[in-house]
Structures are given as C-alpha cells and as structure tokens.
Structure 1
Amino acid sequence: MRILFTIAHFFRPDSQGKHASQRKNPQPRIQALTQSITNLHQLFGKSQSIINIAQRLAFPANQPQRSQLDIIICTTQDCHLLEQLSLPPHFYQNYVTQAEPLLLGFECQAVLRDNLGKYDYYCFLEDDLIIHDPWFFVKLNWFTQQASDLSLLQPNRYEVSVNNLTDKAYIDGDLLPRVTAPFQNVQEKWELKGQIMGMPITFNRALNPHAGCYFLNANQMAYWSKQKHFIDRDISFVSPLESAATLGIMKTFRVYKTVPQQANFLEIQHFGTGFLSLIGEKIPLSVS
C-alpha cells in the first residue's frame, strides 16, 4: 500500500497565543512532531523484523501490512522546528509556503491534490497527533467497504495523563447541533451498526467531526478534489484552524465516529494534556 501523509507544522512563540504552537518552550512541540513522524514509519513502514532466536537471524515481519509512505511537512515563513528534529533526513520532505499559519491545512490539501493517482491513501495531520494503532488503515478500509466511499470514519482524539482526575480523555465530544447544521445533515444515515472480530460496533454521524486529521482512500480523495468547494478557504467552522482541517471533508462526506462506549476502536493521541487538565477545573467530572 502507498500512503501520503501531509502534516501542517508551525511554531512561533507569542505571549498572547492560545495554541501550543505559540508557546515559549519549543520542546513539547519538537517531542510531539518527532513522535508523530517516528510512529508513522515504525507502524506502517517496510523496515520491520522479527528475531528468530533459534537461527540467530532477523526476518521480515508484518509484510502484508507494510506500506510505502511519504511524509510531507507543510511549513510557512520559516516558522518551524524542523532543524531541531533528530530524525533521518529521508523520514520526511519539507514543503515551504507563505500561507497564514492557521490556514496551512489548505496548503496540505493542495499537496494531496497534486499527488492524485500516486497513492492508496491521502492523509492530513496536525503536528501534535500521534497514531499508535498498526491496524489503523485496516480498520478504515473495513469501514469503507461496509459503508461506501461517501462515508468517512474519523478517529476519536484523546489525551492521557497520570496526574489528573482521569487517565484518558477523548477531547472532541459533541458540539451543539446548530454548529455543524449549515454544513451537514446528520439525520441522513444517522447510525451504522456492524460486527468486527465477533464484537458489535456502532457508528454515529459526528456532531463534532473535527479530529485535526483525516485519512481518505484514493477514490475519496479524487471525489473531494472535484467538488466546487475544494480548497475554497472557507473558515466559517469554529475558527480558521478547525475549518482548514475539517470543513472540506464535512461538506463532502457523511462523517462518522464510533460511539463513546467504543471510542477506542479508531483513535489518535493529541500530545499533551491541554484539554484533559480542564476536567476538575473548568469541566466537572460526571459521576454517572
């Protein structure tokens, strides 16, 4: 399988900034991006082995799931940390733009479009998201086979901690229906049910389709690129950042997520505890 990952990466300290990309200390961002890129290669790349102790040899492992992957990091105005990453030079490419930082997601869309016909999956990630599931694309492919290419499964984004009221928190819960109503009709095929590995599973239309990422197969990417709203730079969903990441796919596909009872079926880690730490402070912890 051939996979293209685009990553929107920006860092510029700003005392008034509200995003992690504007904090004074660059180390958390360096750590997040390093782990994001490293995990992609270790989970989906071709260089995987198993040590045969009896023969004292290392043999290839996970060959049916190995992929050819390319990672293109979209940056702007020299506001990035790529020179501080301790990674092999072949792990990624840098695509330099002059875009507004919060609109880098649209630049990633252009890179995906320019590579149509070359890959099996076309992916976008914000630079603080980390995949840990080697069966991630197997699950996506299974879902699409069941639900059609017009249905898109989004992962549930989460944070983890050992020093808060909860060890793990999913951070993209439901928005009020009116927030996404101008862009999607969630009543259309509201619920899908299936069974995988003997377990029943339920998917609902996402009242909050945002996850800071998306993963489209070749048919989905080609379909999206033909829509009139493709790269229209509409920023009317929440903010420019969320719009660049999510509004295009919300206008194009029926977006689903698994229900909270099965949130970990398809998930992606958001680096840090910016949202999780709100629980017990600004967000009460329910006892039910």
Structure 2
Amino acid sequence: MRILVVVAHYFRHREGADLVGGLGSGRAPFAKIAALNAQLVALHRHVGPRRASLDPDDPQGQGGAAHALDVVIVTQPGANLLDYVGLAPPSFTVEPADVEPMMLAFEAQRIMRERAGAYDVYAYMEDDLIVDDPAFFDKIAWFAETFGPTSVLLPVRYEMGWTGTPAKVAIDGKLSREGLAPFRRPGLAPALTGTWNGQAKGFRLPGNPHAGCFAVTAAQLAHWMAQPSFYDRDASWGDPLVSAATLAPGKVFGLYKPAAPDPWFLGIEHFGTRYASIVAPEGERYGEPPLLALVEAASRDGTAALADIAERTGMRGDTINALIAEAGELRWRLARLERSRSALFKALLRALFARTGPAAR
C-alpha cells in the first residue's frame, strides 16, 4: 500500500511567553517537539519502509516492506521546530506554504491534488496525533471498500495518562445539534455493520466527527476533487484548523467512527493530557509523560524543578522505604538537572530563541 501523510506544523516563539506554563502554544517548544517526533516515529514504526534485524538471516530483516510511506510536513519557513525533531531525510519532506498559519491545514488538499494517482491512501493529520495501530490504514481502506466511496472512517481520538493513572480517555465530546448540522444529510445511514477478519464491527455517525485527521482512498480523493467544495478553504466550522480536518471532508463524505461491539476498533492518540486531565475521577490524576515534565522543569531554576517533578510525575511514597528511595532519587535528579541546565537546556533555549526562528527549511 502506498501512503501519503500530510502534516500541518507551525511554531513561532512569542517573546515573553511562559515556556512551560499551561498547555497551549506558550508551552511549546518541548511538548510540540515531543509530539511531532512521536507522530513521525509511530508512522515509520507501523507503516514505514525501513526494516532491519541484528541477524541478517531473520525474516524480519529480509524482503521489501508491505507499505510505501511518504510524509510531507506543510509549514512556514522560519516558523517551525523541524530542526529539533531529530529525524533525518527522507523520514519526511517539507512543503513551504505562504498562507496564514491557521490556514496551513487546507494546503493538505492542494498537496493531495498535486499527487493524485501516486498513492493508495491520502491522509491529513494535525502535528500532535500518534498512530497506534499497524493496521490503521488497512482498516480505512477496508471500510471504504466495504461501505462505498462516499463513507469515510475516522479514528477515535484519545489521550493516555502517562503518569498517575494510566487511563485511555476518548476526548471528543458530543456536539450540539447545530454543530452537527453540516454532517447530517439525507441518505446517510446512522449506523453501519461489517466484518473485519471474521469479527463483527459497528460504526456510527458520531456525536462529534472531529478527529484532527482524515484519510481517503485514491478513489475517494478522485471523487472529492470532482466536487466544487474541494480546496474551497471554507473555515466556517469552529476555526480553520478544525474546518480543514472535518468540515472539508464532511461536505462530501459520511464521516463515521467505531461503535459497539468494538468502539476502539480504530483510534489515534492525541499527545498529552490537555483534555483527559479534566475528567480524572476524584483522587486520580491523568498526567503527562514524566520525561517531558523533567525537561520542562529543568528549564526553570533548580529550586522550582523539584516541585514541578513531584507535581507533574506524581512521585509519592506510601512507606518509609519508599520515601527514602524517593528522596534519594530526587537528590540525584536535582544534581543531574543542575549539571545539565547550563550544558544542555540553556544551550537549547539559546538556539531556539536567540534568533527569529529555526532556519527556513
């Protein structure tokens, strides 16, 4: 299977912004770097072409890959974090676009149109979504073949608690009737059933069609490009970012998500716990990856770092031995942070913010 994934990515440092406070753009670059790296690595892990083995005689290191993957990151020169993602070409290519930042996502349609006929599946993703399923694109292609070219399968978007309680939380809450109106047309079946690998699966028109992404087959893209709404850049549903991901395909296709008996049939992880943390039960916490918390804490002074580490990672001791071990680990972490703060993190921050932005790609 030949797969094209277009990712919209943008970052520009705001002078005076709190680099680690909150969960929005002020918190970038660390969270955005981590999210984009995780996204790209996951794509190559599951459908990338490069496979190897320590033992050249192992079947894992022989033969061609089942998929061909191209990842295109559409961005603005000087307004991205691609220098810091840590992946070398040809892991991805860069497509510069001279448009307003919030309109970058619409450029995915232009790129798909320019490459029509070269791939079997065409996907768009926001830059903080992580594919968790080796059969992700196979399931989408199966859905289109089973239910026809005007039906598109979207994944359930979820967040994962990495510290505290490791819960998997679906994050797309139900919309109002008015919000759903563009996606409720006559002739759309409210529910579908099919058989995947011998098992019954159910799908429905969801209470919230947004997933931050979409994927269509070559036949579906050809059908979409023939419609007057293709690449019309209509940003009237919410904002341009969600309109590009959801309203644009929703004008042409019925957008479905998994339902019972397997509501997690297709999912995609949204990096962090921005939304999941809100619904954690009393006494529990859905926290973020501990290494991210350590990096963000280390960008502050050493005194505040310990409080941040304890708060963000939830390190607590229930016995005296656990408390002693925790204290020793905290002392070790603080010493390491103090050594690395000037050698690593200040250098990183200077590199990030002493210029107007990362070098144009």
TM-score of the alignment, normalized to the shorter chain, above 0.5: yes
Moved more, 22-31 or 240-249: 22-31
User: Does the alignment pair 1:255 with 2:255?
Assistant: yes
Alignment of 1:7-46 (within 5 A): 7-14=7-14, 15=17, 22-46=25-49
- 1:49 offset after TM fit, Å? 4.2
Moved more, 148-157 or 188-197: 188-197
Q: Distance in 1 between matches of 2:220 and 2:269?
A: 24
Relative distance call for 1:13 and 1:164 in structure 2 (3 A) is farther
Q: Distance in 2 between matches of 1:212 and 1:121?
A: 17
User: Does the alignment pair 1:191 with 2:191?
Assistant: yes
Relative distance call for 1:121 and 1:198 in structure 2 (3 A) is closer
SS of equivalent residue, structure 2 residue 219: helix
Alignment of 1:137-286 (within 5 A): 137-163=137-163, 167-185=167-185, 188-259=188-259, 262-280=262-280
Larger helix percent: 2
- 1:25 offset after TM fit, Å? 3.6
- 1:46 offset after TM fit, Å? 2.2
Moved more, 159-168 or 225-234: 159-168
Query: Can you list the C-alpha shifts for 1:79-105, whole angstroms capped at 9, x where unaligned?
Result: 100111211221111111121111111
1:104 alignment partner in structure 2: 104
- 1:61 offset after TM fit, Å? 6.1
Q: Distance in 2 between matches of 1:253 and 1:87?
A: 35
The answer to whether the 8 Å contact 2:50/2:65 transfers is no
Q: Distance in 2 between matches of 1:179 and 1:62?
A: 50
Q: 1:39 corresponds to which letter in structure 2?
A: A
SS of equivalent residue, structure 2 residue 7: strand
The answer to whether the 8 Å contact 1:186/1:207 transfers is no
SS of equivalent residue, structure 2 residue 58: strand
RMSD: 2.7
Overall identity of the aligned pairs, in %: 36
Q: Distance in 2 between matches of 1:125 and 1:75?
A: 13
- 1:265 offset after TM fit, Å? 0.6
Q: Distance in 2 between matches of 1:180 and 1:258?
A: 17
Q: 2:94 corresponds to which letter in structure 1?
A: N
Q: Distance in 2 between matches of 1:184 and 1:148?
A: 18
1:285 alignment partner in structure 2: none
Q: Distance in 1 between matches of 2:202 and 2:164?
A: 29
Q: Distance in 2 between matches of 1:13 and 1:261?
A: 45
Q: TM-score, normalised by structure 1?
A: 0.88
Moved more, 120-129 or 9-18: 9-18
2:69 alignment partner in structure 1: 69
The answer to whether the 8 Å contact 2:7/2:125 transfers is yes
Q: Distance in 1 between matches of 2:162 and 2:24?
A: 24
The answer to whether the 8 Å contact 1:49/1:59 transfers is no
Moved more, 116-125 or 257-266: 257-266
Q: Tell which structure's C-alpha radius of gyration is larger.
A: 2
Larger strand percent: 1
The answer to whether the 8 Å contact 1:123/1:214 transfers is yes
Structure 1: runs of 5+ lacking an equivalent = 282-288
The answer to whether the 8 Å contact 2:201/2:260 transfers is no
Q: TM-score, normalised by structure 2?
A: 0.71
